[in-house]
Amino acid sequence: MCQSTPRAELELPVSREAPALAREFLRGSTCAEHHSEVVDDAVLLVSELVTNSVLHGGPPVVVAVDCDEATLQVRVRDGSPDLPAPRDAAQSDENGRGLALVAEMSADWGVDTEKDGKHVWFVIN
């Protein structure tokens, strides 16, 4: 765990404003000492995960950020136990690329399930 930046967590409204709120929260909660070079990537990925939670999950939608000297981990929790389903988006599709972006841009990602929801997370080095 990072000695200069404690874990941060925020419950978001289930609304179209949630991704913007998550981006703002992540920028303010990320450790500049260790992760300034990956913040833009993390902001994009958290936006994708929060959008999925708002559209396909349900309340509560909670974003959490953990920092250590080597990695930045972001978790998005929602109230649906349904697993996210990656899609093969066609070039003309306007959506369906979020999980592919998460898989491509992160060092690792996954889903942890609970009886009353799930956490979709990613790690960036």
- Residue 87 or residue 104, greater confidence: 104
Residue 102 sits in a domain of what CATH number? 3.30.565.10
Q: Is residue 67 part of a domain?
A: yes
51-to-21, 36, 61, 99 alpha-carbon distances in Å: 11, 24, 10, 11
pLDDT value of position 124: 92
Band of residue 94 on the pLDDT scale cut at 50, 70, 90: low
pLDDT class of 109 with cuts at 50, 70, 90: very high
- With a cut of 90, say whether residue 32 has pLDDT above it: no
Closest by CA to 50, choosing from 113, 119, 123, is: 119
The model's pTM:
0.90
Q: What is the mean pLDDT of the chain?
A: 88
Q: Look at the chain and report how many structural domains it folds into.
A: 1
* Of 113, 14, 119, 104, nearest in space to 59 by CA: 14
Note whether residue 1 is domain-resident: no
For residue 106, is it within any domain? yes
SS3 12: strand
In a domain, 3, yes or no: no
Helix (H, G, I), strand (E, B) or coil at 19: helix
Containing structural domain, residue 19: 8-124
